[in-house]
Amino acid sequence: MDRFDDVLAANQNFATTFTSEELTGTAVKGLAIVTCMDSRIDPLRIVGMHAGDAKILRNAGARVTDDVLRTLVLATHLLGVNRVLVMPHTDCRMASTDEAGIHAAISQKSGVDTRSLDFQTTEDQLGALLKDIVKIESYPLLHDEVRVMGAIYDVKSGLLTAVN
């Protein structure tokens, strides 16, 4: 537990001023953001929102995986989502090397063979983003009225560049 003492202490501090107990779990602004797990990204602040406004789905590279689609089905049918922003970012490790490079880096650093995993790296981040947008738009289990936008977040300037 001592490896998490800082986390628990920060939570105690957070709880002393916690005021979001009235939030319901629905996306008040109707938005879901699919973005990368990169810790430089604060998705709600980037789009000027707060806790309760949007659903946040994160994974390495901000890719639209089967799990993202599963979650979007729940979010669009049960949790008030009618807009999806797919938001990869500049300077992303998943867009700066290929699958072999990621597997080799993990093997070299940790000695673990990860070749059974598909990390969905891409050398064409814009092309992958456009493909992921189409994947959401054409997914038959989502409402027809769900709108999708792609935008690349610049980690140096904080700006979003819309791509569709």
Q: State pLDDT tens for residues 122-160.
A: 999 999 999 999 999 999 999 889 999 999 999 999 999
Q: For the chain, which residues make up each domain, given as ranges?
A: 23-162
Q: State how far the Cα of 33 lies from the Cα of 69, in Å rounded to an integer.
A: 12
Q: State pLDDT tens for residues 61-75.
A: 999 999 999 999 999
Asked if 27 and 80 touch (Cβ cutoff 8 Å), the reply is: yes
Q: State pLDDT tens for residues 23-62.
A: 899 999 999 999 999 999 999 999 999 999 999 999 999 9
- Architecture category of domain 23-162 in CATH: 3-Layer(aba) Sandwich (3.40)
